[in-house]
Structure 1
Amino acid sequence: MASWIAVCLPVVALFSTSAQEKKPPLIIIPAPDGDKAEDDELVYVSPPPPPLPDFRKLAIDKTIRQLLADSGLPPRRKARLLRMASGAYLGHRFQPFWLDSNPDIVIERVSDALRSHALDPFAIPDMFGDELPFGPIPKTDRVTVDDVRLTLQVAEAALLLKEGPATEKLVWEKWNQGDTPGTIATAVHTENVTRTFSGQLNRHVAEPERVLDAFVPQNWIYERLRKAWLISVSNPNPDLITFRGNAYRGKRYSQARELAETLEMLGFLSPEDAAEGAKTGVFTTAMSYALRDFQRANGLRADGIFGPKTMAKLKRDPNRDRQRIVLNLHRARLVPNEMGDRYVMVNLPSGEIFGFENGHQLGIRMRIVFGRNTEDRRTPIFRDTLEEVIFRPYWWVPKDIAVNEYLHRGPGSLSRSGYEIVRGGFADARSVRMTSSALRGVASGDLILRQRAGYGNALGLVKFRFPNDHAVYFHDTPQKHLFQYSDRAHSHGCMRLEKPRDMAEWVLKHDPDWSSAKIQQAMRYGNRNVAEMKQPMHVFVVYFTVFPLPERENGIAFLKDVYNRDMTSLEGLVAAQGGK
């Protein structure tokens, strides 16, 4: 018979007088080939012992924990560093990494890599202390405390590069609340950085800066802002230019060269067009178009005329500009590397919404009106997933807005404006007669004020719903005049769209059930109609006061700090870096 071993399940009660009695598992030792099965012998055999722990790993992990104990790092950061360093030594068969390296040179190369990403490496050389003895770690093969310390320092530099010195709560406090499209689970993230660090360190230990390359954020906003920062530090003390007079297309202008060079430096004018303007001394057509782009990006009237307001925006403090770029670089670390093939991004300081395709190819762009700069009305900075486009929506007026802004108008005025009072939720709403008593019911929370669908509805003719904890969404509005203002922080927190029909067509353009004609009909006629997203689209509501121009390969816009967040964020960032 064929050689085999059959292992019986350890049903202990069948082979003992008591179910509590433990015996080794029963196995069958087969008879030699050719013998009968009844010649097989039944014996009790002890199972193989569990593998002994690798004392090298235990000793190295103990040293890692001791070095991390007094580091002052947050617990989550310590746990991640433990996994990274321990995994690296496991992949290196518990051999030392830095036996042939000069630690000072390694730290200097790592520090240079951090500086090239606007990070201050001041803490890295002294991190993880020198309280432990410097000699070899017992039970290891030449691995020393210094070797482990240097590995931890490189690992901390990698995380600093990837995540920044400040937690997301110090930068965008609600960014990781609710749905977080583009972000993987914490455990998976830790596993990924552990695997990446181990692989990179084992391959590039002689070039520590290459180890860090794998941890550089890969989203397009970070890449563009870093490029602008490198250009800025390459000329740390540029001559400050004071522009005078005014200029328009075709006019000779005494400061045409300086203006052309400034627009080129900001990325609004190509080198060829800048050279033409500098050579001719004329405010060229290309300069006028570039200036129009600059004006639009900075919330000015985009007329292409160089006047006092545009001059004031062009008058820059280079040190302040670099500081703002660095702050926004740290914000960009929170943006996922992968945002989806098609996604929507709102940048609040620019007061605009962008739709992107194929990574970061601009598909649609328009102005928005967003939340007022008051504690309870600011539009939150968060991310979610667009699930529905709702045509001819009701507006269910939030209680605080109803009480503070509408109930005083009285039953008659509210009825004429399309409002009604209902009892119950959306599925079972029942109309209640509009009376003063019913309005008191709204004030107490027993009843709800609702506006019927139609052209006068506060949400307009279409609403874009991405369910979230903040109860905000995109929608149309009858107040079209607000889009002409440079300051468009006027809403209760939701984001009103300048061209809602265009947005609906862009969002649904790959859905064969929703043609342009059907979308137009759904907005103009009939009752509430819902288009469910067959492929949900990610939504990112961000806050960048320095923002790359999405429609150009180069160029950034310095934007108004509409919610006065920069100073608070900068203070948190400085504190996170030890006050440097």
Structure 2
Amino acid sequence: MGGLLWGCATTTTQPPEIINRGSSQLGSAVDSKRSATASATIQDLLAKARINALRHPDFQKYRDLLRSAYETRSFQPRWIESGNLNAQGTQLLQVLAQSYAEGLEPHDYDTKWLQQQTSTLNSHDSAAIGTTDLAMSVALARLIHDVNVGRIPPREAGIKIDTRAREAEAMSLVKQAFNGISPDQAFRNARPKFVLYDHLKNALAHYRELAAHRKGISLPSLPKSLKPGDTWSGIPALADGLRYLGDFTGAPPKNNRYTHDLVAGVKHFQGGHGLGVDGIIGQSTWSALSVPFSVRVRQIELSMERMRWLSEQMADERAIVVNIPQFQLWAFPGKTQASSLSMNVVVGKSVGNSTPILLNDVKSVVFNPYWNVPSSITRKEMLPKLRENPEYLVSQNLEMVGNGEVIATAPTPEQIEAISKGIYRLRQRPGPGNALGRVKFEFPNSDAIYMHDTPNRGAFSRSRRDFSHGCIRLSDPEKMADFLLTGQPGWDKKRVSEAMKSDERRTVTLRNPVPVLIFYTTAMVDSTGRTVLLEDIYGYDSQLERALIASDERKQKQKN
């Protein structure tokens, strides 16, 4: 019995309890060393706020937030365990891949590099594990920020929208992403909640699919405008291209003739591209047809980028939105993203008098306003006419004022010179011919821009309506006054109508100012679900593109 016992003990195999104890202690020591190495690596990289392997190495913006997130876990990896991605890490990489569907650039978040790193990790390389884990956190932080508030602040693209409050909101969402919620939930929390944003995302997927199979519609040059019944060698390509886009479903045209069904298809295309819907193919329609699908894709991506600048609170408030390249205004009653009022508008000329993008509050409605002529219009347009004709002011119902008093309506040469020096200014009295019409809507801003009525109604029927000096002319100002004064004590539709007809000058300060957003996006989705792609009349798409490229290049230079 005893020999048997000791016989087992004298074999080359050690007793089980001795083996387990020794390997456990050894494994524990090794694990502890690896853990310490990973922790030290993460702390060292946080101190430097840079990971050289990343496309944008510097992450100073997120360092304090990430340090706090890792400090709560003794600077141990969050996404990698025993050399493998945990469930949250796997989900994080899936979320990074979704950046493409949002119109963002996956390489900005090192998506491919992280996929490669995590697929080849060595559990013994603790430094690599620490580096990769922190790099994953940096990528998530950047994505949450960018999908919520955009990759660059508007000012870098020359846009005067203050997004400092939005930036704070975005950073709060980034913090939440490391505070107990999953990467997927953090991403969904950060995505813009506007209905239009989701529509644009769907449109982006559609146009990417179009661009994946064709470059665009290749048309021969147009010798003249093409009218129904005309013949043209480009008819087969036109019909094929419109069928590909879904604008044309009729039978193939015969004898290169521009026939009824194809005319209907062109009209549908025109309606979706901000063109006059007349079925006539002139240079504007030909140019729109010839835009490569890849350019249309980029239009949508840039429009989604701009939407990230906007506060989601606007979706719940009474608000007015003007889209400059669409020459359109919508009024929203609040608590819904469906407009209760829309109208055509005239905006600033594309050369020299562009309407600025801004976000402000309409604070007052002025019936029968004076028009205080801007100094630039006085110098460039009125002074030459006044010098030629001393009676010019009288003929235009204008007066020269100074210190709040009327000085003259027939100024002397000396007074005209004083006007040119800015000592006196010009203003137009209220009346039927007043440039502001019967009412103006004030939202104080440094550009002296406002919305107003106009006695010149012809421009509203044009498809392209950039004719003003910068202010926004309304096709239905009475409805706008009614919208703004709804709920204002003592005001109803009847009183608004009476004020519009009266010669009495009256300023009504709104009890509840209404946000107004003067915006610029060349990609929209209308109420029928149709994607609307517009001409970049001010060149702001190109400007935003250049700003994004400059930002990316600046961040990449941090590697050097």
**Residue aligned with 2:312, SS:** coil
> Percent identical across equivalent pairs?
24
The alpha-carbon distance between structure 1 residues 573 and 431, as it changes in their structure 2 partners (threshold 3 A), is: same
- In the TM superposition, what whole-angstrom CA distance separates every residue of 1:177-235 from its partner, at most 9, and x where no partner exists? xxx7xx73655553x22442123xx332xxx4454232222223322211101112234
Counterpart mapping for 1:244-259 below 5 A: none
Correspondence list, 1:231-270, <5 A: 231-235=206-210, 236-238=212-214, 264=246
Counterpart-to-counterpart distance in 2, 1:136 and 1:237: 45
C-alpha distance 385-227 of structure 1, shift in aligned 2 (>3 A)? same
Equivalent residues in 2 for 1:63-102, closer than 5 Å? 63-68=45-50, 78-79=60-61, 81-89=62-70, 95-100=76-81, 101-102=84-85
Cα distance 1:240–1:122, how it changes in 2: closer, same or farther (>3 A)?
closer
Shift, 1:486, TM fit: 2.8
SS in 1 for 2:306: helix
**How far did 1:72 drift?**
9.1
The answer to whether the 8 A contact 1:422-1:449 is kept is yes
Cα gap change, 1:319/1:145 in structure 2, threshold over 3 Å: closer, same or farther? closer
Change in CA separation of 1:487 and 1:59 when aligned onto 2, cut-off 3 Å: same
Distance in 2, matches of 1:400 and 1:107, equals: 55
Contact 1:369 1:488 in 2 (8 A): yes
Matched residues in 1 for 2:303 and 2:71: separation? 37
Corresponding position of 2:376? 400
Q: Which amino acid aligns with 2:49?
A: L
TM-score, normalization by structure 2: 0.74
The answer as to whether partners of 2:324 and 2:519 remain within 8 angstroms in 1 is yes
1:349 to 311, 316, 325: 325
Query: Quick check: 2:41–2:131 contact (8 Å CA) kept in 1?
Result: no
Q: Distance in 1 between matches of 2:56 and 2:159?
A: 19
Partners of 1:528 and 1:362 in 2: CA distance: 30
Distance change in 2, residues 1:107/1:505 (3 Å): closer
Instruction: Name 1:171's counterpart in structure 2.
Output: 157
Q: Deviations over 1:124-163 (max 9, x none)?
A: 3369xx9xxx9779xxxxx945433332232223223323
1:523-555 deviation per Cα after TM superposition (whole angstroms, max 9, x unaligned): 222332122222211111111112222x22x12
Out of 297, 311, 315, the position equivalent to 1:336 is 311
3-state SS of paired residue (2:535): coil
> Is the contact between residue 263 and residue 291 of structure 1 (CA under 8 Å) also seen in structure 2?
no
**CA distance, structure 1, for counterparts of residue 320 and residue 330 of structure 2:** 6
Displacement of 1:573 after TM fit? 2.0
Q: Is residue 409 from structure 1 mapped to residue 394 from structure 2 by the alignment?
A: no
Deviations 1:239-276 (A, max 9, x none): 8567998769xxxx9999968855657xxxxxxxx88x
Corresponding position of 1:453: 430
Residues 455 and 461 in structure 1, CA contact (< 8 A), matched pair in contact too: yes
Task: Note the C-alpha offset of 1:61.
Answer: 6.3
Q: 2:351 aligns with which of 369, 374, 383?
A: 374
Q: Say what the alpha-carbon RMSD is for the aligned residues.
A: 4.0
| Cα distance in 1 between the residues matched to 2:546 and 2:326 | 23
Which one has a larger percent helix, Structure 1 or Structure 2? 2
Q: Which SS does the other structure have where 1:198 is aligned?
A: coil
Q: Report the equivalent of 2:26.
A: none
Which is further off, 339-348 or 483-492?
483-492
Aligned-partner SS, 1:527: coil
Please state if 1:391 is matched with 2:367: yes
Which residue in 2 is equivalent to 1:421?
Answer: 400
Question: Is 2:203 the partner of 1:228?
Answer: yes
- Please say if 1:116 is aligned against 2:131: no
Aligned to 1:33: none
Displacement, 1:67?
3.1
* Structure 2 residue 307 is the aligned partner of structure 1 residue 321: no
Is the counterpart of residue 540 in structure 1 residue 525 in structure 2? Answer: no
Counterpart-to-counterpart distance in 1, 2:455 and 2:39: 67
Q: Deviations over 1:104-136 (max 9, x none)?
A: 967753441212222222243369xx9xxx977
Distance in 1 (alpha carbons) for counterparts of 2:342 and 2:176: 37
The AA in structure 1 aligned to 2:165 is: I
SS of aligned partner of 2:431:
coil
Q: Residue 148 of structure 2 aligns to a residue in which SS? A: helix
Distance, in Å, in 1 between the alignment partners of 2:491 and 2:441 is 15
Provide the residue aligned with 1:203 in structure 2: 181
Q: Quick one: distance in 2 between partners of 1:263 and 1:99?
A: 46
- After alignment, is 385-394 or 99-108 more displaced? 99-108
Q: Supply the distance in 1 between the matched residues of 2:73 and 2:375 (Cα, whole angstroms).
A: 62
Deviates more, 1:152-161 or 1:360-369: 152-161
CA contact (8 A) 1:474 1:497 kept: yes
8 Å contact from structure 1 (residues 399, 442) kept in 2: no
Residues 335 and 258 from structure 1, CA distance in 2 versus in 1: closer, same or farther, beyond 3 angstroms? farther
Distance 1:163 1:469 in 2: 24
Q: Which amino acid aligns with 1:465?
A: E
Say whether the 8 Å CA contact 1:175–1:382 is kept in structure 2. Answer: yes
Residues 108 and 74 of structure 1, relative CA distance in 2, 3 Å threshold: closer
1:526 is paired with a residue whose SS is coil
Match of 2:161, SS state, is: coil
Secondary structure at the residue paired with 1:503? helix
Whole-angstrom CA distance in 2 between matches of 1:216 and 1:223: 9
2: CA distance, partners of 1:146 / 1:313: 46
Gaps of 5+ in 2: 1-37, 118-123, 221-225, 230-234
| Equivalenced residues, count | 480
Whether the 8 Å contact between 2:347 and 2:466 is mirrored in structure 1 is: yes
Offset of residue 351 of structure 1: 1.5
1:446 deviation in Å?
A: 1.7
The residue correspondences of 1:411-490 to structure 2 (distance < 5 A) are 411-424=390-403, 429-434=404-409, 435-436=411-412, 437-490=414-467
Distance 1:560 1:150, change over 3 A: closer
Measured at CA, do residues 198 and 329 of structure 1 come closer, stay the same or move farther in structure 2, by a change above 3 Å? same
| 1: CA distance, partners of 2:361 / 2:468 | 22
**Mapped contact 1:396–1:451 kept (Cα < 8 A):** yes
List alignment gaps of at least 5 residues for structure 1.
Answer: 1-55, 138-142, 266-273
TM-score (norm 1): 0.71
Aligned to 2:551: 576
Residue identity in the other structure for 2:494:
A
Aligned to 2:33: none
Q: Following the alignment from structure 2 to structure 1, what is the Cα–Cα distance between the partners of residues 218 and 343?
A: 32
Cα 1:310–1:445 change in 2 (3 A) is: closer
1:156 aligned partner: 142
Do residues 193 (structure 1) and 179 (structure 2) align?
no
Distance 2:131 2:517 in 1: 44
Cα–Cα, structure 1 residues 121 and 460, in superposed 2: closer, same or farther, change >3 Å? same
